[in-house]
Chains A and B, each alone.
Chain A
Amino acid sequence: MKVLRNWFDKQKPHLEKGGKFHMFKSGFEAIEVFLFVPNHTTKQGTHIRDYVDLKRTMSVVIVALIPALLFGMYNVGYQHFVATGQQLSFWPVFGFGFLKVLPIIIVSYVVGLGIEIAAAQMRGHEVNEGYLVTGMLIPLVLPVTTPLWMVAIAVAFSVVFAKEVFGGTGMNIWNPALVARAFLFFAYPSQMSGDSVWISLGDKAIIDGFSGATPLSQAAAAAAKPIAEVAANHGISYSLMDMFLGFIPGSIGETSKLAILIGAAILLFTRIGSWKIMLSTVLGGLFMGTILNIFAVNSYMAVPAWQHLMMGGFAFGAVFMATDPVSGAQTNRGKWIYGFLIGVFGIMIRVVNPAYPEGIMLAILIMNMFAPLIDYYVVQGNIKRRLKRAIVKA
């Protein structure tokens, strides 16, 4: 450890302006502060500082994502073997998924961090920690069959156009992970939706009678038929338990509501995720679902409101995407409105416009855009209270 520390100290002069490795300064420092919490001491203001820093916060979010990630890996294998009609024990199933998912994660981090480091070097900044989470979120919201080059393009697009052009972590308007997802959704729709993208088949053939459709697309397909023709289950062939535990086709990290709930518990317990946003998103979803239930002109609209929470990316979006503190509302009152509208729009887009099954993604992006407006009115409210006080007194 001491040797490593000395090595870092020895390299430092070469990285200063005019040194021969100056062009690697940001990258070098990123690695250095990753290995060692720096020896900076407080100069002015408070003499003590909380132990928490952005690295710690971001790594807690990563920890919260791990259950969804691990289950996602297992489910990739599970879906593969179900679709190809084989039965295997736990480890081969997990191993198959692990080998499918790992390259996506590696591509996401290598491309994303590469651009971040280059951008930091260009601006003479330090590398921000924001991408640690984004780099994990992006693989989790993609179908496992997404080609690696597409992952790379989507990551590059989102880091450059959703984040760095605004000034980096803390300045972005939209959640970068969702921008990557939306980019792929609109640029390569055939690889992002439909029934065939969710399951990695390899060179095996699909067995008879297996559709590969997600519960969302089943429900959407059933909506076209008259209610009477659709089975009691609104056309969905999966049991509620499967949908809760996650043994369904879908994006890598979104299928298991149980794993997401564990993640939510971690975020809420460490107070990093906003409970206000999570709760209000769920309430908004239930509210819109109930309204649709009341009208229920087709079987999709008749899906009970609470079952919507189990389908598609709603849970994942509410827990990990809507709660992004940078792109979400930042005032306490604003958070309630912001979350509620995400829930409302998410379900509305999903049900009313079946061309966009992933309504929650679009709903969060829309509300990301409106979050500053919501905050603006909350701030104005605070200002008005202060002004009113003065008038009453005088």
Chain B
Amino acid sequence: MSKVIKLKKGLDIQIKGEPVNNLEHIGMPETFAIKPADFQGLIPKLTVAVGDKVKAGTPLLFDKYHPEVQYVSPVSGEVTAINRGERRRILEVVVKADRGILSEDFLKSDPLKLSGDAIKTELLKSGIWPSIKSRPFGIVARPADQPKAIFISCFDSSPLAPDYDFIFKDEANTWQTGINALSKLTTGKINLGLSAKKENRIFLETKDVEITLFNGPHPAGNVGIQIHAVSPLNKGEIVWTIQPQDVIMIGRLFLTGKYDSSRIVALCGSEVKEPKYFQFWMGGSLTGLLKGRLDRKNARIISGNVLTGKVVASDGFLGFYDSIVSVIPDGNYYEMFGWALPGFGKYSPSRTFFSWLGSKKKKYILDTNTHGEERAFVLSDEYEKVLPMDILPVYLLKAILVNDIDAMEQLGIYEVIEEDLALCEYVCTSKIMVQSVLRKGINNMIKELG
């Protein structure tokens, strides 16, 4: 029997709009895009120009400092635009899709018979490599590194999260193939974190892995929390992480020799008419997915979950790592005496509103209003209650604010990335931008360490 780790701290936000287990097939989007901003710290270099014909798996960009890491087109078609922002930074490389998907040809082989280097080369060439992230810092893994282990969280505990049991139910074979390929990349183990509350249909049967069950509220499903509980990261150590959907993509690559970016995506949130799952593609334009499925116009569309996702326009593109699109109401309104009203309908984990009298199962519509202005740190023990780690988040954040590299290191900056502290930001009474502060600290650490 696998080890069960019980995590008490954390919070499952009672937000409305969970997807129901129902899959709909929709037509392929007309355009696709790769967004360099999805990859922390990437300085992209273009390999294509507008008008070039590409196939699925043809490189569009590469990393200036690690040129072997390529970012490829998710579909076959024609590069129609390279959208740039301030200081000519590349925001999107847009590809107009052909009718069918034509892929570049990659090696079709049983990964167990290949060497680690061969697998690495294949992953780099096919552009799936960036789906492997490295801890510390949550950046795209560097191929030359030797990770002490690979961690995969096999459940998503974030608000409105997709149900992995449902979306991966037919993928047992590709999943195991992907795991086999990954097992060649590390001398250590592959650690799977499973939810103690779910069936874990395909995950429990995985061969050659170390399984740990986790029982507790969000962020128990965050891989950073699982690493901390199983084998905490010390200075100088590196582990790699990858999401199950990308393991399956690796599996498909070796089983078929094709680059296949299709994935099941959850469209959810209180502004969606029927929150459910759709057969979709990484990088696909959301226009067709959202059309006619939203309740109103004044809504925020998020590629990713409501805690860590990125805002996208209604004609924006699904992010590289995302398998969920959340739509919640915009909070651009004034509320008279909002802070003083009893607040029966206002969900708050803080217990300062009367909504705590209501059922713990009731779901609320939550909008993007900040509900107050930013202040200095005042309350204590707020963050600790939602962070199941032996880390003092406020002290870590203060070390970052004064840019004290030594203190950041001592207080555990290697062990956290934004998603791990996202709940701290949500509950913060002082409305501090926890995630951007943390990212600033991580970027400073990367600069310092070179």
- Chain A residues within an 8 Å CB radius of B13: 48
Interface size on B, residues (CB 8 A): 72
CB distance B334 to A39 under 8 Å?
yes
**Interface status of B443 (Cβ within 8 A of chain A):** no
CB distance A50 to B335 under 8 Å?
no
Given contacts A36-B334, A42-B370, A169-B375, contact A47 B435 (CB under 8 A): no
Q: Which residue of A lies closest to B378 (CB)?
A: A170
Given contacts A41-B332, A48-B426, A169-B376, contact A35 B431 (CB under 8 A): no
Q: How far is the CB of A54 from chain B (nearest CB, A)?
A: 5
CB distance A45 to B306 under 8 Å?
no
- The stretch of A71-79, A181-189, A268-276 that contacts the partner chain: A268-276
CB distance B368 to A42 under 8 Å?
yes
CB distance B381 to A47 under 8 Å?
no
**Interface status of B120 (Cβ within 8 A of chain A):** no
**Interface status of B366 (Cβ within 8 A of chain A):** yes
Q: Which residue of B lies closest to A269 (CB)?
A: B351
- Chain B residues within an 8 Å CB radius of A270: 350-352
Interface residues of B in 371-395 (CB under 8 A from A): 371-373, 375-381, 384, 390-392, 394-395
Between A5, A50, A332, the greatest number of chain B beta carbons within 10 A of the residue's beta carbon is seen for A50
CB distance A383 to B371 under 8 Å?
no
Chain B proximity mask over A274-285: 1 for CB below 8 Å, otherwise 0: 100000000000
Chain A proximity mask over B393-433: 1 for CB below 8 Å, otherwise 0: 01100000000000000111000001000100111111101
Pull 5 A–B residue pairs with CB atoms less than 8 Å apart, ordered by A.
Answer: A45-B418, A57-B379, A171-B376, A332-B384, A386-B390
Interface residues of B in 312-342 (CB under 8 A from A): 326, 328, 330-340
CB distance A45 to B331 under 8 Å?
no
Q: How far is the CB of A175 from chain B (nearest CB, A)?
A: 13
CB distance B371 to A37 under 8 Å?
yes
- Chain B residues within an 8 Å CB radius of A57: 350, 352, 378-379, 429
**Interface status of A293 (Cβ within 8 A of chain B):** no
**Apart from the given pairs A45-B422, A50-B427, A171-B376, 5 other A-B contacts in the complex at a CB distance below 8 Å:** A38-B372, A38-B373, A42-B369, A45-B418, A46-B306
Q: Which residue of A lies closest to B340 (CB)?
A: A59
CB distance A46 to B422 under 8 Å?
yes
**Interface status of B307 (Cβ within 8 A of chain A):** yes
CB distance A37 to B434 under 8 Å?
no
- The stretch of A92-100, A122-130, A217-225, A342-350 that contacts the partner chain: A122-130
Between B346, B395, B429, the greatest number of chain A beta carbons within 10 A of the residue's beta carbon is seen for B429
- Chain B residues within an 8 Å CB radius of A387: 410
Secondary structure at chain B's binding surface: helix, strand, loop or mixed?
loop
- The stretch of A82-90, A108-116, A301-309, A323-331 that contacts the partner chain: A323-331
**Interface status of A168 (Cβ within 8 A of chain B):** yes
B residues lining the A interface (CB < 8 Å)? 13, 15, 159, 232, 234-235, 300, 302, 306-309, 311, 326, 328, 330-340, 343, 346-353, 366-373, 375-381, 384, 390-392, 394-395, 410-412, 418, 422, 425-431, 433-436
Q: Which residue of A lies closest to B13 (CB)?
A: A48
Q: Given the complex of chains A and B, what is the CA–CA distance between A55 and B379 in angstroms?
A: 12
CB distance A48 to B373 under 8 Å?
no
A residues lining the B interface (CB < 8 Å)? 1, 5, 33, 35-42, 44-57, 59-60, 126, 128-130, 167-171, 269-272, 274, 325-326, 328-332, 379, 382-383, 385-387, 389-390, 393
- Chain B residues within an 8 Å CB radius of A52: 348, 350, 352-353, 371-372, 427, 429
CB distance B384 to A170 under 8 Å?
no
CB distance A49 to B373 under 8 Å?
no
Given contacts A130-B378, A330-B380, contact A50 B371 (CB under 8 A): yes
Q: Given the complex of chains A and B, what is the CA–CA distance between A42 and B391 in angstroms?
A: 26
Given contacts A37-B335, A39-B334, A46-B308, contact A325 B379 (CB under 8 A): yes
Q: Given the complex of chains A and B, what is the CA–CA distance between A328 and B377 in angstroms?
A: 13
- Chain B residues within an 8 Å CB radius of A389: 232, 234
Q: Which of the residues A37, A59, A386 comes within 8 Å of B334, measured between beta carbons?
A: A37
Q: How far is the CB of B59 from chain A (nearest CB, A)?
A: 30
Q: Which of the residues A40, A271, A329 comes within 8 Å of B351, measured between beta carbons?
A: A271
- Chain A residues within an 8 Å CB radius of B368: 41-42, 47-49
CB distance A48 to B367 under 8 Å?
yes
- Chain A residues within an 8 Å CB radius of B234: 386, 389-390, 393
- Chain B residues within an 8 Å CB radius of A51: 343, 346-348, 350, 353, 371
Q: How far is the CB of A161 from chain B (nearest CB, A)?
A: 18
CB distance A41 to B372 under 8 Å?
no
8 residue pairs, one from A and one from B, having the closest CB atoms = A53-B372, A170-B376, A37-B338, A390-B234, A45-B435, A330-B380, A52-B350, A55-B339
Q: Given the complex of chains A and B, what is the CA–CA distance between A53 and B427 in angstroms?
A: 9
CB distance A37 to B328 under 8 Å?
no
Q: Given the complex of chains A and B, what is the CA–CA distance between A321 and B367 in angstroms?
A: 35
Given contacts A47-B306, A50-B348, contact A36 B433 (CB under 8 A): no
- Chain A residues within an 8 Å CB radius of B367: 48
Q: Given the complex of chains A and B, what is the CA–CA distance between A171 and B377 in angstroms?
A: 8
CB distance A383 to B378 under 8 Å?
no
CB distance B390 to A382 under 8 Å?
yes
Given contacts A46-B426, A55-B339, contact A274 B381 (CB under 8 A): yes
Q: Given the complex of chains A and B, what is the CA–CA distance between A56 and B143 in angstroms?
A: 50
Between A5, A44, A332, the greatest number of chain B beta carbons within 10 A of the residue's beta carbon is seen for A44
Q: Given the complex of chains A and B, what is the CA–CA distance between A252 and B348 in angstroms?
A: 34
Given contacts A48-B307, A48-B366, A332-B384, contact A53 B331 (CB under 8 A): no
CB distance A41 to B331 under 8 Å?
yes
Q: How far is the CB of A171 from chain B (nearest CB, A)?
A: 6
- Chain A residues within an 8 Å CB radius of B436: 44-45
CB distance A50 to B428 under 8 Å?
yes
- Chain A residues within an 8 Å CB radius of B332: 39, 41
Q: How far is the CB of B56 from chain A (nearest CB, A)?
A: 31
Q: How far is the CB of B405 from chain A (nearest CB, A)?
A: 14
Given contacts A47-B368, A49-B431, contact A39 B378 (CB under 8 A): no
Q: Which residue of A lies closest to B304 (CB)?
A: A47
Q: Given the complex of chains A and B, what is the CA–CA distance between A385 and B232 in angstroms?
A: 12
Q: How far is the CB of B388 from chain A (nearest CB, A)?
A: 14
- Chain B residues within an 8 Å CB radius of A383: 410-411
Q: Given the complex of chains A and B, what is the CA–CA distance between A45 and B431 in angstroms?
A: 11
- Chain A residues within an 8 Å CB radius of B434: 45
CB distance B429 to A54 under 8 Å?
yes
Q: How far is the CB of B271 from chain A (nearest CB, A)?
A: 12
Q: Which of the residues B235, B300, B306, B373 comes within 8 Å of A33, measured between beta carbons?
A: B373
Q: Which residue of A lies closest to B410 (CB)?
A: A383
- Chain A residues within an 8 Å CB radius of B391: 382
Q: Given the complex of chains A and B, what is the CA–CA distance between A149 and B300 in angstroms?
A: 54
Q: How far is the CB of B397 from chain A (nearest CB, A)?
A: 12
Q: Given the complex of chains A and B, what is the CA–CA distance between A40 and B377 in angstroms?
A: 19
- Chain B residues within an 8 Å CB radius of A53: 339, 371-373, 375, 429, 431
Q: How far is the CB of B126 from chain A (nearest CB, A)?
A: 32
Q: How far is the CB of A124 from chain B (nearest CB, A)?
A: 14
Q: Given the complex of chains A and B, what is the CA–CA distance between A328 and B378 in angstroms?
A: 11
Given contacts A42-B370, A44-B435, A332-B381, contact A49 B376 (CB under 8 A): no
Q: How far is the CB of B309 from chain A (nearest CB, A)?
A: 7
Q: Which residue of B lies closest to A57 (CB)?
A: B429
Q: Given the complex of chains A and B, what is the CA–CA distance between A170 and B425 in angstroms?
A: 17
CB distance A36 to B338 under 8 Å?
yes
Q: Which of the residues A48, A54, A385, A393 comes within 8 Å of B375, measured between beta carbons?
A: A54
